[in-house]
Structure 1
Amino acid sequence: MLGVVHHDDVVEIVLANPPVNALSVQLRSALAKALSDALSFPHVRGVVIRGQGSFFCGGADINELEQHNDPWLPDLIDRIEAAGKPVIAAIQGDALGGGLELAMGCHYRLATPSAKLGLPEVKLGILPGAGGTQRLPRLAGAETALDMIVWGEPISALRALERGIVDRIVDQDRIVAEAVAYARSGQGIRRTRELPFVASDEAFDLFKSKNTRRLRGLHAPAACVEAVRAAAQLSFDEGLRREHELFIGLVKGEQSLALRHLFFAERSARKIEGLGKDIARRTIRKVGVIGGGTMGTGISINFLSRGIPLTIIEMDPDGVARARNFITASYNTAIAKGNLSEDQVEKALSLLEVTHDFSALSGCDLVIEAVYEDIELKKDVFRRLDRIADSSAILATNTSFLDVNKIAAVTSRPNDVLGLHFFSPANIMKLVEVVRGTETGPDVLATAIEVSRKIGKVPVVAGVCDGFIGNRMLTPRQANAEAMLVEGATPEQIDRVHIDFGMPMGPFQMLDLAGLDVGWHRNPARIDNIKDAICSRGRLGQKTKAGFYDYGDDRKPRPSEVVEQIVGEFRERAGIPLRRIADEEIVVRTLYTMVNEGAKILEEGIAQRASDINVVWVYGYGWPRHKGGPMYWAERIGLQTIVDGLTRYRDRLGSTFTLSPLLKKRAAEGRSLNNE
């Protein structure tokens, strides 16, 4: 739990609570005792605190958020700060949350070049509750403190040095020696609480006004602003009390409960039935991607950025040049934004090969097909791939709804085949649906999960069905949304209801962004639905500046008279009377129906647990994080509420609608959908 090393007149205390040195009550107790013992020795001139492994300290134990066990972290940090001998934080790895608060309670801070420092508590719907909102602005000023605390993103050691959060950057192999020397240097004691901090009320009001949209409806970011404001207006001790009041209010709130559910849901998604840790993983040294379009190049960037050599196959010379140019342009944008250095980009691009020679895939350990969403085309690709790829290679299809088993069946090795459904833009979106086919081998599945995490994705395992987890749940939402257009709603009303709910965009805005031609049969003479009719007019979404909405150069959606006319024609042919549709009906028919479909997915074993569905929708479709995902949200408002709403509008839901027996049963029993 904790180690102590004596360097003559300096004591080194090593936090050892793997994997992230979380500040559990046991570690806090051990640290308090070790610190007290070290300071009691007359010959000791100072103390160094560092972490074991790749973390300095990852923060508090989330399971203890609502507990007040002695020693309480704020009290422990106060003791460190009040010490009569210098205490040095040697930040040799990430210092996050309570870990950074601990470091800021020390008198000086040294960090290695690769260290990251951050206060990500807002992502759990809370704020730093151990003095972080009071000490960080005293070290770094209002602007940096607000950015780090309100948005929760870590910064590099170099930026921390520039902003006064750390005092020196030291190489990894010298950090302990330099920290010990610092303790002996006679620098004296510098208590963060005693540093001045001045900021006007206008600075905080301006921050809020500039970020109105990002802050809308979110409790924790707003509380973070107020806590930092308190640091400027109150004494340090009064500011601590205000921080604690705000923290207590947040930790018991609905938004924090939802965000903490997601935190644990993401970790639960890694636990796959029948997939033990003893299953050997295949080694992925080189990756191939078939298709150099937007999706294929986006997928490729993930691997290149992690130092994995990659070959893209494009079938024509123009496609080869286009794919390489797209990736180069993406990396140049990253350089311009300061996210990557020129050296990092040069290294990534040196790992890239783009060619039309299919045989170049023969040396790849993982091949991902990313061609157009047509099953016959994909089957042809896999037949060819089966002949060329190494016998140990994993073959993956990036399909969003097609039958992975049928694709696998055209090969001689269906056990090596699975789906890897990336979300667009694939180099940014974190979700990957890992689709397990009937014959997918356990080692193939385990390797796909591992490599997805290696490239920074959040993998969720899904079974084979039309649309898997996410897109299958979109089907009833979209069907009802289009039906309500004919009945009397407008695209603007339906989208507004979803945006008010917390979605980044509504169903029709999302379709326009993705492109209405995705999945379209491309026959202008065949018009089966409103979407077909809109496509037949050449209105394919934002890329043509016309879809369900009209778009100008600013890409903002505007109501379309053409779409209004198309919808009116459908209404007239169907003989459906125009009526007023209430917002409540839109919620039931688009969101409640998604929950119902999610329950069916659980019944069929397509998803292993309800929380997996929540992870899919938060990371892949923009479900508001502070509402925890569709299945969590349903349980918070009550499963019986969902059942009653669906029953109330049953006659409006279409002849194919059926209520999930699992949903109905669990609602009647008052049980969770996650229960066995």
Structure 2
Amino acid sequence: MSEVVTYNREGNIGVITVDYPPVNALSHSVRSGLVAALEQGQLDSEAKVLLLVCEGRTFIAGADIREFGKPMQEPGLPAVVRHFEDSEKPVIAAIHGTALGGGLETALGCHYRVALSSAKVGLPEVKLGLLPGAGGTQRLPRLTGAQKALEMITSGEFVGAKDALALGIVDAVDEGGDARAAGLVFAQKIADEGKPVRRVRDVTDKIEAEKGSDVFSQFRAGLEKKARGLFSPFKCVDAVEAAFNLPFDEGMKRERELFMECMESPQRAGLVHAFFAEREVSKVKGLSKDTPVRDVKSVGVIGAGTMGGGIAMNFANAGIPATIVEVKQEALDKGLGIIRKNYENSAKKGRITQQQVEERMALINGSLTYDAFRDVDLVIEAVFENMAIKKEIFAKLDGVCKPGAILASNTSTLDIDEIASATKRPEDVVGMHFFSPANVMKLLENVRGTHTSDEVKATVMAVAKKIRKVGVMVGNCHGFVGNRMLHKRGAEAMSLVNEGATPQQVDKVLTDLGYPMGQFAMSDLAGIDVGYRIREERRNAGEDVAPSWMDKLAEQNRLGQKTMAGVYKYEEGSRKPIPDPEVDQLIADFREEQGITPREITDQEILERCMYVMINEGAKILEEGIADRALDIDIVWIYGYGFPAYRGGPMFWADQIGLDTILNAVEKYHDDIGGEQWKPSALLKKLVAEGKTFGKL
């Protein structure tokens, strides 16, 4: 008998218990233990009904990530599930916490399911580039029908217990807090009433009712927009469709074939890398697990604009009071009004209740004086990119805030050490770079200054988790990690347009790679004035920043989506970028002013110059220790800039392309174009010479 799965009997109920912390994952020992315990229950003549329960905080939460990439040891999960389904004695699964992936598939192999009201179920394999491979695509639609099964499997989203009951996934919901007790009560009822086994594979009413319907063709059409470029969601649809067109055993074979196609897809490797990388970034190099973390119970935000308001919402959503300070009452009222409107819109869409709107608004207060920050634990400055203004603000904060308060800047580019120099407490100063819209985007780029204390570093990483962000700790330089690489890509995109490409051609190459939007559409979303201010700040600092036709857009008040015109034009109520002949003429005039004769530029050149310049810069970032690991860069780009997760992040993608291929192109462009951006990174050259990759650093 496995040590992690045990069997005992309570009265006439045989109880199979999984105890494999932390989440009862389906390791080889759990799988073999389940089969052994089931066999023991079958041989126990006193056991009329069998109950499957789990110890700890959750039911089986899926596969064991410690076994990812290793050869599968028998028994495989499909066989385990089949053993449970074939049991001659009724088997009940008692679900608490989450039953995800193989966990839900195991429960679907049982004959009945009872769940605590707090439980959630789901099949999230698609998020790893896979599909449920132990019968999930064949059993779930027999209970829910095609549409809901397709929605759950292709999105990977979880369903609460009460919704699961309504959908037929579970048979009962218990309002208590003890899954074992709820399971025993349910199992006793099955035993007392002499209920027979009820195998999901034999449930055919929904299968028969929906055979020949157009639900699958319609769903695929919708996926073309929602899952553009992705492989596994479409294979999920194929697998679910097999449940409606094939006998159960043949459907299972088809599911296995499609599962193996997903396993062999490069997208699976990218998504698995992203999955592990997201968990690894929380471990900051050189920062002990025992580092004290300050308690952040209240927050101050400077600026009630789009960014400041979004930042305040993050904390209110987490139940942490936030005070916003503005210079003028009009700006403050406008900002608070926008926050309320955002919450009201979420309520209209059913994402939160009206009561939650009021609860969250009650946590956000406004003020016109810095005195409101005297007792807060953390202040985040969110004004526009101007060093002089930021230093003035931090000097004020230094005089107002209590000892031990963390002073953070939301700057996207500026020197954290210089900002900290305006205070007498540089050890308490840190960058907390949120991404717009701050209440939506998951990335929080935490920037350590030279003097930032370990305690502050640990605290801002903990804050990221508390407000449901993916926190990445990075070093201090112009643009940090994300924007430093973005500026290189942006400069190449600009040069490509100057030389003859169109903004829409450049953007299409990037969206074809998998980005949700291209360089110029993104500039319109962020605001043309943001980049303009950054360039002006650099010019004021004495840097040689080349003239740009985008400066002319800013000077004409074509600031992007917020003014309905930027690089593209926009129609009321739509974010769709529309090419604008006026901008084409502006670019043509700029070329003439600069003495540039436009030439034809291929999509391949655009791809290489926009992407390989980023990889080269990423290598320099690693050389300098601005990022500790290549995976930190990957997560910054996936969650901050829309790099397609199925490609694993830019540095992982570079490893897949081949670093020798990238180095050859970088050296070619250095010879042809010149410039510091194309000077090959010493690290890139070293890795190629040694036959290594970024992932093996």
Is the TM value for this pair above 0.5? yes
Q: CA deviation at 1:4?
A: 4.7
Moved more, 146-155 or 371-380: 371-380
Distance 2:355 2:511 in 1: 41
Are the equivalent residues in 2 in contact too, given 1:56–1:99 (CA < 8 A)?
yes
Note if 1:46 corresponds to 2:49.
Answer: yes
Distance 1:651 1:545 in 2: 41
Other-structure match for 2:35: 32
Equivalent residue runs for 1:231-630 within 5 Å: 231-521=243-533, 528-553=547-572, 554-630=574-650
Q: Secondary structure at the match of 2:374?
A: helix
Q: Secondary structure at the match of 2:125?
A: helix
Are the equivalent residues in 1 in contact too, given 2:176–2:182 (CA < 8 A)?
no
Aligned pair count? 675
User: Structure 1: any 5+ residue segments left out of the alignment?
Assistant: none
Are the equivalent residues in 2 in contact too, given 1:51–1:93 (CA < 8 A)?
no
For residues 333-373 of structure 1, the C-alpha deviation after alignment (integer angstroms, 9 at most, x for no partner) is 22222222233333323322222232121221121111222
For residues 426-457 of structure 1, the C-alpha deviation after alignment (integer angstroms, 9 at most, x for no partner) is 11111111111111111111111111012111
Are the equivalent residues in 1 in contact too, given 2:507–2:518 (CA < 8 A)?
yes
Q: CA deviation at 1:603?
A: 0.3
Are the equivalent residues in 1 in contact too, given 2:122–2:158 (CA < 8 A)?
yes
| Percent of residue pairs bearing the same amino acid type | 47
For residues 234-266 of structure 1, the C-alpha deviation after alignment (integer angstroms, 9 at most, x for no partner) is 111111111011111111221101111111111
Moved more, 382-391 or 354-363: 354-363
Q: CA deviation at 1:201?
A: 5.0
Are the equivalent residues in 2 in contact too, given 1:201–1:229 (CA < 8 A)?
no
Q: CA deviation at 1:65?
A: 5.8
Which of residues 690, 693, 696 in structure 2 aligns to 1:669?
690
Q: CA deviation at 1:210?
A: 2.2
For residues 369-401 of structure 1, the C-alpha deviation after alignment (integer angstroms, 9 at most, x for no partner) is 112221111111111111121212111111111
Distance 1:4 1:417 in 2: 55
Cα distance change, pair 299–51 in 1 and its aligned pair in 2 (3 A): farther
TM-score calculated relative to the size of structure 1? 0.97
User: Structure 2: any 5+ residue segments left out of the alignment?
Assistant: 541-545
Distance 1:500 1:348 in 2: 39
Distance 1:6 1:288 in 2: 57
Are the equivalent residues in 2 in contact too, given 1:643–1:663 (CA < 8 A)?
yes
Are the equivalent residues in 1 in contact too, given 2:448–2:475 (CA < 8 A)?
yes
Are the equivalent residues in 2 in contact too, given 1:589–1:653 (CA < 8 A)?
no
Note if 1:92 corresponds to 2:96.
Answer: yes
Q: CA deviation at 1:36?
A: 1.9
Distance 2:68 2:41 in 1: 27
Note if 1:655 corresponds to 2:675.
Answer: yes
For residues 166-196 of structure 1, the C-alpha deviation after alignment (integer angstroms, 9 at most, x for no partner) is 1222124353223212112133321111101
Q: Secondary structure at the match of 1:552?
A: coil
Residue type at the aligned position of 1:327: I
Q: Secondary structure at the match of 2:50?
A: strand
Cα distance change, pair 305–422 in 1 and its aligned pair in 2 (3 A): same
TM-score calculated relative to the size of structure 2? 0.94
Distance 2:248 2:406 in 1: 58
Other-structure match for 2:543: none
Distance 1:405 1:547 in 2: 34
Q: CA deviation at 1:31?
A: 2.1
Moved more, 650-659 or 316-325: 650-659
Moved more, 379-388 or 461-470: 379-388
Distance 1:346 1:45 in 2: 52
Are the equivalent residues in 1 in contact too, given 2:154–2:233 (CA < 8 A)?
yes
Other-structure match for 2:120: 116
- Give the superposed CA RMSD: 1.9
Residue type at the aligned position of 1:470: G
Distance 1:129 1:139 in 2: 17
Which of residues 8, 11, 21 in structure 1 aligns to 2:11?
8
Distance 1:653 1:28 in 2: 58
Distance 2:410 2:250 in 1: 55
Residue type at the aligned position of 1:591: M
Q: CA deviation at 1:127?
A: 0.3
Moved more, 409-418 or 311-320: 311-320
Which of residues 59, 63, 81 in structure 1 aligns to 2:85?
81
Residue type at the aligned position of 1:192: V
Residue type at the aligned position of 2:604: E
